A and B are shown apart, each in its own frame.
Chain A
Amino acid sequence: MRVASSPPVTSAGSSPGGILSSGWFRPVRQYGEYVLGGATVIGMLVTIWAALIYSPREVNGDFQRIVYVHVPVAWVAFLAFFVVFCASILFLWRKDERWDRLAWASAEVGVIFTTLTLITGSLWGKAFWGAWWVWDARLTTTLILWFIYVAYLLLRSYTGRSPSGARAAAVLGIIGFIDVPIVYESVNWWNTLHPQQLVVEDQLPAQMLVALLIAVVTFTLLFAFLLIQLYKLYTLKAAAEELRARVESE
C-alpha cells in the first residue's frame, strides 16, 4: 500500500534502513527478510539438536541443558538494550524519528528476552538450588533491568509518539543501559550463587562451547528478525496516525 511506505530517506546510511532503502540494495531488503526468517528456523532446529543431542551430558543431570537457551536469551537481551542505548543517543543527536522507532522496537524485544532469561533461570534454579528465586546479585540486577525497560515501554504507551515522550524515553533508554554492565559484572563484584562466566574463562568443553555458540547465533538471528518486524509495525503505526491526524485536521 502506498500510504504505508516509510518516510523518504534524507541521507543514505544516516538512519536505520537508510542504505537499504535505495538503489541496488532494494532486493537485499526485499528478500533479506525471507532469508533471515529461513535461517532462523533452520538455526532453531540445529540449536535443539546441538543442545539436546550433540552436547555431552553433565554430571548434575540433563536440566543443565537449560543453559543452551538461558545464556543466548540473556545475551540477546543485552544486545537489544545496547541497540536501545545507541538508537536513543542517535535520536537525541539527529532528531530523526526513525531512531526513536528502532529504540522502541528494540526495547520491546529486550523485555521479552529478559522475561525469558528470568523464567529459564528460575527453572534452572529450582532444579539446581531447589528454589525458584534467590535474592542473588545477578538475579536481582537482572530483575531491576527488567523493571527499567518495562518502565520504558509503559512510558512509551502513555506518551505515544509525542516529542517530549520520545525524549524522555531516550533519556531512560540511555540511563537504563548502565544496569547492563552491572548485571554482567555482578558475579565478579559480589559473592553470588549464580555460576561464573565459564565461556569467558575458557573452562567449557569444546562440544558444549560449539552448542552454545550455535544457540547464540540462532537467537541473534531471531532478534534481528523480530526487530525488523517490530520496526515495520511501528513505521506503519506512525504512518496511520499521521494520516488520520492530517485527514481529521482538514
Chain B
Amino acid sequence: MQGPGLIFLVFAYAIIWIGFFVYLGWIALRMRGVRTELETVRELVEERERRGTNGGNE
C-alpha cells in the first residue's frame, strides 16, 4: 500500500479498533463497579438479617 493519504487510513483503522477495545475495557470496569456495589448491599442485607435474628433471640 502506498499513496499520500496512507497516514489517514492508518489513523482511521487505529482509532476504530483501539477505540472499541478501550470502550470494552470501560464497560468491564463499570460492570466491576456495579458488582462491587451489589456485593456491598448483599453484605448490608446479611448484616441486618443477622442483627434481626439476634434481636429476636434476646
Q: Which residues of A contact B (CB under 8 A)?
A: 1, 3-4, 44, 48, 52, 57, 60-63, 65-66, 69-70, 73, 112, 116, 119-120, 123-124, 126-128, 222, 226, 229-230, 232-233, 236-237, 239-240, 243-244, 247, 250
Contacts and interface: CB of A to CB of B under 8 A. Distances in A.
A170 B33 CA distance: 27
Interface size class of B (residues with CB under 8 A): 20 to 34
A1 B35 contact: yes
Nearest to A63: B5
B3 A240 contact: no
Contacts, number: 98
Q: Which of B13, B24, B45 has the most CB of A within 10 A?
A: B13
Contacts of B45: 3, 243, 247
B10 to A, nearest CB: 9
A63 B41 contact: no
Q: Which of A63, A73, A112, A116 has the most CB of B within 10 A?
A: A63
A239 B31 CA distance: 13
B15 A127 contact: no
Which secondary structure characterizes the binding site on chain A?
helix
A236 B27 CA distance: 12
Q: Which of A52, A66, A119 has the most CB of B within 10 A?
A: A66
Given A236-B38, A247-B41, A61 B16 contact: no
B12 A61 contact: no
A236 B35 contact: yes
B27 A126 contact: no
